[in-house]
Amino acid sequence: MIGRHRAALFATSTMTGFGIASWITRTPAVRDELGASIEGMGVVLLGLSIGSMIGILAAGVLVRRLGTRPLIVLGGALPVTGMLLVALLAPAQLAVGVWAGLFLIGFGSGVAEIGLNVEAAAVERQLSRPVVPVLHACFSLGTVLGGAAGIALTAVRTPVLVHLLVATVVMAALAAFAAGNLRPVPRADPAPSAATAPAPRLGAVLTVQVLLIAAITLAMAFAEGAASDWLPLLMTNDHGAPEAVGSLVFTGFALAMFIGRSAGTPLVARFGRARVIRVCAAVGAVGVLLVVVSPDPVLTAAAAGVWGLGIALGFPLAVSAAGDHPTDGDRRVSVVATAGYVAFLAGPPALGFLGEHLGLQPAMLVPAALLVIALLAAPATRTRAQSDVPGRTLPTAAPAPD
């Protein structure tokens, strides 16, 4: 049963990545159809950001009141609807309609991503094996598949309408599979003394450690969002590359993230979570700086791969660190994931404003600076010892059968 549930989580994450990549690879074409400037595209992207922020900020309360399943199901249905709107209204040059479609994609993804991370952290605690990094690897896999499809369809000059309608069908199939197999795992009963105590206030959850972990997710997610939304346009605008090359560079970035996340389990087992995050932040910052100073598209493409490889594990490992707590794990994950997803989707429009006035390459110094902060905050993600939890002895969970 838990194996099917885990597969449903992975399917939803893959769907989200596939949908975002499908949109990103056609961003230059959509911009051309809408006749929008870089700043104008930033306004269009704001629909995704606003929807996501509303969904994310509401998700913490909704998870506590409704549980994770309704949020994940909603996060499958709304992005499918939003992608359909974008597919139909972008060729009609209705920027407001594209904005509305992105809003639905953002809102649905926002509530789902918090639910997915909370649920994956709970499954991880029950199985005593990594689940959150694999969840994020599925997102990266979805972006690779969506990016590869986008490259192929762009190369043969497939209209935006046809491409995004195909993406809508694929997303709908994954969402339907997930909805039919979601079975949220039961949470461990609290200790007798804690059972009668009121739930801790949000201020009690916001410890220094949680805030430092949230800073890591914010930095990593900001860097990922910057690459996801602006790499294709950076290639076409700053280097004069064809649209297909911009899509190829983004897909290479997504592939690097998939490789990094897939390799996460043995790396963490050997070197520890904090050390891996520290190295990831340093490598990611180097990749971003190489993009900033790159004089030609070949170096930019290589730097984008270093960028993706570096930031691949930061977000999921930080979420795992937040979920270590046996009683407040769900709330800590909600707080940390919220910080990350707000940065992921609110950052790109801000970079669009900077890019309009300074150029896209100089604007990328912002995610580089944030990755340095993540490097400094990495010690906060060290594995919590059992003795750190007052009044409780934590048994070692045996791996659950699939």
What pLDDT band is residue 395 in, cutting at 50, 70 and 90?
very low
pLDDT of residue 396: 35
pLDDT digits (tens, 9 = 90+) for 26-69: 877 888 888 777 677 778 878 887 887 788 778 878 887 888 88
pLDDT of residue 202: 58
pLDDT of residue 388: 40
Which of 8-17, 22-31, 135-144, 381-390 has the least mean pLDDT? 381-390
Mean pLDDT of the 86-112 span: 88
pTM of the model: 0.72
Q: Is pLDDT of 169 > 80?
A: yes
User: Over pLDDT 90: what percentage of the chain?
Assistant: 24
pLDDT of residue 103: 93
Q: Is pLDDT of 196 > 50?
A: no
The average confidence (pLDDT) of the chain is 81
pLDDT of residue 96: 87
User: Over pLDDT 70: what percentage of the chain?
Assistant: 88
pLDDT of residue 38: 67
Longest CA pairwise span in the chain (Å): 65
pLDDT of residue 335: 83
pLDDT digits (tens, 9 = 90+) for 71-89: 899 988 999 999 999 999 8
- 202 or 134: which carries more pLDDT confidence? 134
Residue closest to 31 by CA, chosen among 358, 356, 361: 356
Mean pLDDT of the 261-273 span: 81
The listed range with the strongest mean pLDDT (112-116, 148-152, 278-282) is 278-282
- 53 or 141: which carries more pLDDT confidence? 141
Q: Is pLDDT of 228 > 90?
A: no
Q: Is pLDDT of 386 > 70?
A: no
What pLDDT band is residue 397 in, cutting at 50, 70 and 90?
very low
The listed range with the strongest mean pLDDT (71-75, 128-132, 224-228, 342-346) is 71-75
pLDDT of residue 15: 94
pLDDT digits (tens, 9 = 90+) for 333-344: 888 888 887 787
pLDDT of residue 289: 92
- The four Cα atoms 31, 37, 40, 45 give a dihedral, to 10 degrees, of 40
What pLDDT band is residue 400 in, cutting at 50, 70 and 90?
very low
Mean pLDDT of the 296-302 span: 85
- Ordered by where they begin, the domains of the chain are 2-185+203-385 (1.20.1250.20)
What pLDDT band is residue 188 in, cutting at 50, 70 and 90?
low
What pLDDT band is residue 11 in, cutting at 50, 70 and 90?
very high
